[in-house]
Structure 1
């Protein structure tokens, strides 16, 4: 009868691994579904303040509110300008409304409007 405790112990040891794999698979497909949903709907503009314009690097540093379409909280970060003309439209201190997306692995400003 010593085999019974061994089988019970083995079942308990194997259960977390099986559970982790099943939840990982579920989250993996859920994450892919969520990404598809986020890219399917248009992103809402977010308000921000331009902190820096780096024409040489083609980037705009923006202190911004949450970016719902990217699942990103409020922060300050540099974005690639989606078009070179954007770099001439803004200067440090400007209040803006913008749309950011992930393009080829980089966060990029796709739309930009200076708020008067």
Structure 2
């Protein structure tokens, strides 16, 4: 009687583990299929905007040189220009669904 019970346990192990492994493999393949289908339906659009920031400063210095009698003899002007240009590129990512979904929803309306 003990040998029948021992053989039955071996049959359970031989049958259950491969069936369970096959079930897990099918679930993994189904998850991979769903992931690839979702990734295929979405596309990414990158929108780039270029922004320029210009900072211009001008400094004017005026020096008056006085003569021996206190009257202005000459005027000296010095001009300093300071120009800074910054280029910024702003990137925005947008995920768009496939165009076939848009066509399918627009063709769903039919006139009677």
The TM-score, its normalising length taken from structure 2, stands at: 0.34
Q: Which has the higher strand share?
A: 2
- Give the structure, 1 or 2, with the largest relative contact order (CA under 8 Å, sep 6 or more): 2
Which entry has the higher C-alpha Rg, 1 or 2? 2
